[in-house]
Structure 1
């Protein structure tokens, strides 16, 4: 090979190497640039939760301290005569005065006894007067209202549930939330079902299928839907994707075990297998039902922990056909409670350890 040809080849290789090096450098700069953008974006997205990561200890101390606060309460403020039938079912719920309108809707569908615990931060006298002025509430002689005075900053949801539950005098309790409107036949249907289990030796929790109105695509607002008065209408709304099994899009584990596919065509009660994080709304024998754990305040694991307790206490779960409850749209709370998720998770792990130490040991 001539020296000139060799020089030309070396020059060509050097040129190619420089071009390759320039390309690599340019791409590396681009990669670094985009990585920096991603990191910056993540920091911006998590800025509001920065305190959660930097100060988890004090956050959970506050969470635990709130759960331990002593709260004053008054039972059955109007001293309504109690319904003591072992064959009857009381709807148990909790709310604030801002949800009175939703309680009216519940009362319109559920004609049986209702035990409702109010969380009040106004003067109790003002709340009592507001209830007295409400014709729907004041005209019911089987509505038992209890007041718990606001103490601290967080909503003591399970303590309110316990207040409402301890005041039940009927044989069975339907553990519900005020934003869920019941089917008009649920009360009569539930009485017929539980009457067959009054003398039964097995503990049973009857699961009421729960649905929710879907959000409009691209928004955080629920679609405009009227309450479905029949199962046929509900199924049509379900098929048209106007409603769906509650929380399926956000937390499918909560109600997945209800087996909605089977519920669609069910004509008799059917067995349901409990699984982790299951949190259905259930009808249970009042005297056999354990209290809710007051450690869980606001949201996260409040119902999950109670259903787990029922499971460990030996309850079998059974689905009820034909009737249901629907979570209707309402204005959402603006409080950001995500900072307490870790605190509630730790509390739940401790709760599980008390009831099922073997299960926790296997997990570890």
Structure 2
């Protein structure tokens, strides 16, 4: 058992399926981490970060190791920059702080030991970073995806960040040639090639999770801005979070659109178009002119409620219906509320990092099923209780849609990530006798 965890792969007896379900073993093979941080050096400037990478590329190189169905191959380099110690080093997986001591690599002690914000991004979304820093005052573990050509620019950006409690895991995609073109292995065994590469979305999430030194992490996407005092309030729920089976869910809001829900709607269904979208949000969606829209995103529940009353903001319920939004808006007590995670949901949440808890399945890339698959694992284990943060929230910022998300929506039934997600889900549910809706 990897990390001493009773993996789902041990509960599914089919030997053809077991390897695909053990996401921690897959992560280990795809990252090839060790407990040795060398080569390491002090990195006090952007130049020293860039020099570390160029001088140590052979040691930082990660070749492909997995060739299963549904896997993908993309050669890359991997290193970390720890801003608190100004150190560049190889990626090192941090020990867990589990509820119970399950293996020799774990740290003894099951109390709540703080929470780290985790997310990943590419260089073209760095403009979100200052807003996230303004609203989150605790430790951060972030993964960057860049090309070899972008490393100098990334070094400049992260060296200029005015925060020390940040760990950066940097995934550098190796320059693509005919010999090393990234590919994805289809269920048939055939390979689909990606000359422009793939975005290893869940591998990046796992890099952030396995880099934390706290007991818990809050997983978000870089397009989510948080309420301003969320870090302090999560810490105030420490006695709740001592139970590793408790998941603390984040209600999600956004500028009103046909993807959000009007709280004035009796049926709480999608708001019917046409409607008048906030002009600043419209400019952001259509022209990528986002500063005004981002500056006016609410920082607290009181401001959020005013925006909802005006019709500017609304609850995001598609894939994020963790609680009835109208009930949440009227709730004034600072005690977590009972929530729910149903099938095909992908909420943002505070989760304990534990040998007994899953990480994100690293075979997912680009877009589709990546977060949902994590909650399929949680549902399959039948051991988790969900609560909702009563005061704090996330806000889905307006932004232009990516090409990969657009492609996924056009090919939703046949897209490789959708196929893998449904294969995973129904394999688990059938094997563990879980009823589906």
Assess same fold via TM > 0.5.
Answer: yes
Considering fraction of residues, name the structure with more helix. 1
Counterpart among 390, 397, 402 of residue 321 in structure 1: 390
Asked whether the equivalents of residues 112 and 241 of structure 2 are also in contact (C-alpha less than 8 Å), the reply is no
Q: Deviation at 1:150?
A: 2.6
Q: Distance in 2 between matches of 1:334 and 1:241?
A: 29
Asked whether the equivalents of residues 71 and 148 of structure 1 are also in contact (C-alpha less than 8 Å), the reply is no
Q: Partner of 2:73 in structure 1? A: 69
Q: Partner of 2:198 in structure 1? A: 154
1:300 equivalent to 2:344? Answer no
Q: Deviation at 1:333?
A: 2.2
Q: Distance in 1 between matches of 2:360 and 2:255?
A: 27
Residues 349-360 of structure 1 aligned to structure 2 (within 5 Å): 349-358=422-431
Counterpart among 337, 342, 350 of residue 270 in structure 1: 337
Q: Deviation at 1:129?
A: 2.5
Asked whether the equivalents of residues 112 and 238 of structure 2 are also in contact (C-alpha less than 8 Å), the reply is no
Q: Distance in 1 between matches of 2:78 and 2:341?
A: 35
Q: Distance in 1 between matches of 2:411 and 2:360?
A: 19
Asked whether the equivalents of residues 207 and 258 of structure 1 are also in contact (C-alpha less than 8 Å), the reply is no
Q: Distance in 2 between matches of 1:307 and 1:65?
A: 22
1:312 equivalent to 2:380? Answer yes
Q: Deviation at 1:76?
A: 2.5
SS in 2 for 1:116: strand
Q: Flag the 1:172–1:243 CA change in 2: closer, same or farther, 3 A.
A: same
Asked whether the equivalents of residues 299 and 337 of structure 1 are also in contact (C-alpha less than 8 Å), the reply is no
Q: Deviation at 1:354?
A: 3.5
Residues 107-146 of structure 1 aligned to structure 2 (within 5 Å): 107-123=133-149, 125-134=151-160, 137=161, 139-146=162-169
Q: Partner of 1:36 in structure 2? A: none
Asked whether the equivalents of residues 83 and 166 of structure 2 are also in contact (C-alpha less than 8 Å), the reply is no
Q: Partner of 1:242 in structure 2? A: 312
Output one character per residue of 1:301-350: Cα deviation in whole Å (capped at 9) or x when no partner. Answer: 11111112122232211011111111122233244423553222221121
Structure 2 unaligned segments of length 5 or more: list them: 1-67, 86-93, 98-110, 175-181, 183-196, 258-274
SS in 2 for 1:77: strand
Counterpart among 395, 400, 419 of residue 331 in structure 1: 400
Asked whether the equivalents of residues 120 and 127 of structure 1 are also in contact (C-alpha less than 8 Å), the reply is no
SS in 2 for 1:102: helix
Q: Partner of 2:229 in structure 1? A: 185
1:211 equivalent to 2:253? Answer yes
TM-score scaled by length of structure 1? 0.71
1:255 equivalent to 2:320? Answer yes
Structure 1 unaligned segments of length 5 or more: list them: 1-63
SS in 2 for 1:303: helix
Moved more, 107-116 or 71-80: 71-80
Q: Deviation at 1:217?
A: 4.1
Q: Deviation at 1:178?
A: 1.0
Q: Deviation at 1:102?
A: 0.3
RMSD: 3.0
TM-score scaled by length of structure 2? 0.60
Moved more, 221-230 or 159-168: 221-230
Asked whether the equivalents of residues 257 and 273 of structure 1 are also in contact (C-alpha less than 8 Å), the reply is yes
Q: Flag the 1:362–1:140 CA change in 2: closer, same or farther, 3 A.
A: closer
Q: Deviation at 1:256?
A: 1.8
Which of the two has higher C-alpha Rg? 1
